[in-house]
Structure 1
Amino acid sequence: MLELDIRFFDSHRSPVMCRVAPRWLRYRSSIRFCFVLVLTLLLLAVALPVRAQEPGALAAAMAMEKLLIEAIERSQQSVVAIGIFGQTGRRRYVGGFGRARSGPSPPRPELADVPDRFGTGVAIGERLILTNHHVVLGDDEDASNQAGPSWDTFIRVAGHQQWLLCKVKAADPRSDLAVLEIDAQESAAPKLEPIKFADADQEVKKGQIVIALGNPYAIARDGEVSASWGIVSNINRRVSATSREQTERLQHYGGLIQTDAKLNLGTSGGALINLQGEMVGLTTSVAATAGYETPAGYAIACDAVFQRALAALREGREVEYGLLGVKPRSEFVANGAEPPGVLVTSVVDQVPANRVLDAGDVITHVDGRRLYAPGDLMMAIGRRAPGESVLVRFVTRTPQGPRSLQRPVQLNKFPVDGQQVVTAPRPAWRGAHVDYPRAVPAMVSFLEDTLPSHCLEVTQVDPDSPAAAAGIEPGTLIREAAGRSLAGLRGSEIAMPANFREVVDSREGPVELYIRKPTSTGGFERVVVGVAAAAKEDQDAAAGE
């Protein structure tokens, strides 16, 4: 202890000695108390947040769990299990106590029956279901495709205790989409709850949490679909065609959502939803193929291209895609003198692009979208319908050097290969079904280097019709109707089916067509197509009155 010796004198001037401690030592007990108090407060300041983090982390996890549960509850009633059964032969099913039995196929599968093929579907109407083309029509080399009528497609809905028979209303192999409709004989079928789609313009982002609802390994035969969750791993991905795929699909060029959500065999055609329970993708490429797992699953993004195809399919119509009419290959310039893009190696004759592009031009943009490879060009053009115009930016060579130009080009129709289902085709005119030229895949070789875009093509002729009586046959090209050229109407460079109907629908009597038959060795000729006998009787009766 420190002390001070202080000497002073009393009144008698005698020296007096005393010891005085410093003031801070005199208050040492108070100082010690304050020190302990401050130390305690510091410890509490550190300890309390650590303890507070424990219930906070749990609350965050429970909030996340609640979001997942609510999203699934909002959407799971809109997702159904699909089972495809053979009409003939013997089908394996599970009997009592898990014993496998077999027997003849009954008219309707029993609840425990295991389907021959299976997948998932998403309700888009009270009796309409969206799924993948390959789920209901199989792979290109699937032998079961050849016996379409011998297979029945059923769905199972949660809460309904029987399989429901469905028919394919429309199917498009290029988008890998198909729409089923509950058969009219299923009068007791419950009304399906259509799923809610996310905004087509709302971009899906990497890292976004998503939930996959599906029918893995046909386990959802009771209608209760299974759920898995993960994140969006990437966007605008492309997948290569498998050895079984011969049909060219848009997914081979991009537009797929990649996710790490677990997608087992059978989840194709299922819903990929966000945390709001809105559908952002239709699962199409599963993560389990041929008995082993791969690290990624894919879904078709529900973007504007998807919505355009869906709008046609739900009405039973054909999905149509644009065709530019060029043969492309990648063009990368190492020295940077020209921008990379898609090199035009040749242009099909008699298409609008032929008046704008030449062999050797490099296409760099379509509608402002940057191109780097032929797949980018296929996606950009495939997004649009025939008859629409796209803005093409390209680099062409001139005597003064490379020059960048931008021109609008009207599109023809892309010929889709594969098995299409169309239950609401364009109505025939006097027995002639008219479409864009080169619309039929069988005509591709016939029109390989020339696509007469100023003409329309007859794809089918009804027997015993006025068109058949006039000698019109499938493959016939129509250039004029009633003396009017089919190209140039309504400002269109190409002939369009709507132009043809505009000209002929107002004519009640015989109509003259300027045509060229596929078997003809000469040029175009004029034929007259009369009216059907019943229509002529009605006209004569009206004239008599």
Structure 2
Amino acid sequence: MRASTRTTLLALVAAAAFGGFSATLIRDALEAPARAEPVPAVSVPMAASLPVTVDGQALPSLAPMLRRVTPAVVSVHSRQRVRINNPFAGDPFFRRMFPDIPEERINESLGSGVIVDATRGYVLTNHHVIEGADEVSVTLADGRTLSAEFVGSDADTDVALMRIPVPDSGAPLQAIALADSSTLQVGDFVVAVGNPFGVGQTVTSGIVSAVGRANVPGVGYQNFIQTDASINPGNSGGALVNLRGELVGINTASFNPRGSMAGNIGLGFAIPANLARNVMQQLASTGEVRRGSLGIDTQDLDDRLAATLGLAAGTRGAVVTRVHADSAGAAAGLRPGDVIVAANGERIADGESLRNFQGLQAPDARITLDLRRDGRAMQIQATLREQPRTLAGQQLDPRLAGASLAELPEALRRGGVSGVLVEAVEPSSRAARGGLRAGDIVLGAGNTRAADLAALRAALSDPPRRLVLHIQRGRGQGSLVLE
């Protein structure tokens, strides 16, 4: 057979085969049932491309920077022993029949952490990563596992500090330098490093989507960096670094209306390095965090109240309703009726944003407040003062002897709860005989509401003849008369 004829036949055979394959695909498509599945109304952001140079140097890959960073990012493994409440555990017959019923279970969780001081072995992570843990261990990037010592934590900013032993042999610990996070701008490139889902050290990249975020539900004092770098369960406590390999934030949370296990949708949040540094320094020196306060009560400014105060509709701020004696607000000259609209140039939209601003300031911090007083704009300077976070009940009223009172966790306040937490009650104490229990929330005393410790102290500054506390216990509310 001639070559040309053979070529022609091969072409015809190939065409026939392709035609049959195509016909089968078309037939299958026509016979398949139509599926009326809704298309999720989610816009997919375009992927950001990395810059060609950083500081004039070519950047063909992130690998050189990550080789310096990843040894400082660790996996955090926590274990918590939880007692099992078995109603039959005290029954001798039940114990004979089921002698191996466990009395406790072990809860384990995984997170991430960042070595920030190689000399002292300091590791930063999130408070929620190690909260309630009985044992915490840290696994380095090279596989070594070290026992971690708890130094201190701050639930309201979700920052915790641990210490690991500095190895006598083998590779030394490596730390990440902390950057000045106040210089971050929207659009800056960042890289997240952590241990998502426990799969092992993982790197994701993105940009800074926003700074100063303070509207994340379920979290305390907030000033988050928002990023579209993937942050998933297990990334908590890990590093957010810039392209120089400096720590700009501690990865804390991802937001997804369908829950964290639904995956990343590009809404990740990190604690700024400047805030983490401040909390770390306080934890390292005293084991606790101190905060400044103006010592005032406020309410949100709405259009009705704005009209009453001679302000334009749409004006927003925090209206001062009470200035406590011997407070920073009193020393600065604040008055009831003042409307705080900004603090240190930061817009104050309501009472919650003012609380958030104060909660991120240190005692003795000097701040500038922008006010509206009698319809006029003015500025005043104030020096914050420390407010106690806990008080013995005896300090407020002898009838509260034996009770320990504390400020509510800020996450609860963001959920709409206000008041004072009864942290503990000594058995057989006067407070216990009056019916007060640990876990109660004191909402007020007499006819006065108490949003916090300062307000409760003010309400009891003139001890009433009959002490009536309004409390919330679980989902119910009621009143207690303490004798």
Gaps of 5+ in 1: 1-56, 90-113, 138-144, 243-247, 418-439, 446-517, 523-545
Q: Alignment RMSD, CA only?
A: 3.7
Instruction: State the match for 2:431 in structure 1.
Output: none
Whole-Å separation in 1 of the counterparts to 2:68 and 2:129: 25
Number of residue pairs the alignment of both structures matches: 317
Whole-Å separation in 2 of the counterparts to 1:269 and 1:373: 30
Q: Which amino acid aligns with 1:249?
A: G
Matches within 5 A, 1:64-79: 66-79=60-73
1:152 to 123, 130, 135: 135
The offset of 1:171, in angstroms, is 0.8
Contact 2:323 / 2:329 at 8 angstroms: preserved in 1? yes
Instruction: State the match for 1:413 in structure 2.
Output: 386
Q: 1:328 to 1:293 in 2, by over 3 A?
A: farther
Q: 1:274 to 1:412 in 2, by over 3 A?
A: same
1:275-320 deviation digits (Å, cap 9, x = unpaired):
11111111000357452125211111123x3322122223353221
SS of the equivalent of 1:175 reads coil
Instruction: State the match for 2:352 in structure 1.
Output: 375
Whole-Å separation in 2 of the counterparts to 1:365 and 1:59: 36
Whole-Å separation in 2 of the counterparts to 1:293 and 1:444: 34
Contact 1:160 / 1:190 at 8 angstroms: preserved in 2? no
1:116-164 deviation digits (Å, cap 9, x = unpaired):
1010000011211000011011xxxxxxx3xx5xx21001112244x21
User: Are 1:366 and 2:343 counterparts?
Assistant: yes
SS of the equivalent of 1:384 reads coil
SS of the equivalent of 1:124 reads strand
Contact 1:83 / 1:115 at 8 angstroms: preserved in 2? no
TM-score (norm. length: structure 1): 0.52
1:299 to 270, 273, 276: 270
Whole-Å separation in 1 of the counterparts to 2:381 and 2:361: 13
Contact 1:71 / 1:274 at 8 angstroms: preserved in 2? no
> Which range moved further: 293-302 or 208-217?
293-302
SS of the equivalent of 1:393 reads strand
Q: 1:354 to 1:309 in 2, by over 3 A?
A: same
Contact 1:170 / 1:318 at 8 angstroms: preserved in 2? yes
User: Are 1:340 and 2:299 counterparts?
Assistant: no
Instruction: State the match for 1:308 in structure 2.
Output: 278
Structure index of larger Rg: 1
The offset of 1:75, in angstroms, is 0.7
Q: 1:319 to 1:191 in 2, by over 3 A?
A: farther
The offset of 1:443, in angstroms, is 5.4
Q: Which amino acid aligns with 1:302?
A: A
Q: Which amino acid aligns with 2:69?
A: S
Matches within 5 A, 1:458-477: none
The offset of 1:58, in angstroms, is 13
User: Are 1:264 and 2:252 counterparts?
Assistant: no
Q: 1:190 to 1:219 in 2, by over 3 A?
A: same
Contact 1:347 / 1:359 at 8 angstroms: preserved in 2? yes
1:173-196 deviation digits (Å, cap 9, x = unpaired):
111111111158x76585321101
The offset of 1:237, in angstroms, is 1.4
Whole-Å separation in 2 of the counterparts to 1:201 and 1:58: 22
Whole-Å separation in 2 of the counterparts to 1:285 and 1:59: 27
User: Are 1:226 and 2:202 counterparts?
Assistant: yes
1:68-126 deviation digits (Å, cap 9, x = unpaired):
2222122111100111135799xxxxxxxxxxxxxxxxxxxxxxxx9810100000112
1:80 to 74, 81, 103: 74
1:442 to 378, 394, 405: 405
1:171 to 139, 147, 153: 153
Instruction: State the match for 2:114 in structure 1.
Output: 122
Q: Which amino acid aligns with 2:60?
A: K
Whole-Å separation in 1 of the counterparts to 2:137 and 2:238: 15
Matches within 5 A, 1:32-43: none
The offset of 1:374, in angstroms, is 2.5
1:484-507 deviation digits (Å, cap 9, x = unpaired):
xxxxxxxxxxxxxxxxxxxxxxxx
User: Are 1:327 and 2:309 counterparts?
Assistant: no
Whole-Å separation in 2 of the counterparts to 1:123 and 1:307: 12
Q: Which amino acid aligns with 1:352?
A: A
User: Are 1:394 and 2:375 counterparts?
Assistant: no
Contact 2:363 / 2:385 at 8 angstroms: preserved in 1? yes
Instruction: State the match for 1:235 in structure 2.
Output: 211
SS of the equivalent of 2:405 reads helix
Whole-Å separation in 2 of the counterparts to 1:384 and 1:406: 19
SS of the equivalent of 1:395 reads strand
Q: 1:262 to 1:312 in 2, by over 3 A?
A: same
Fraction of identical pairs, as percent: 27
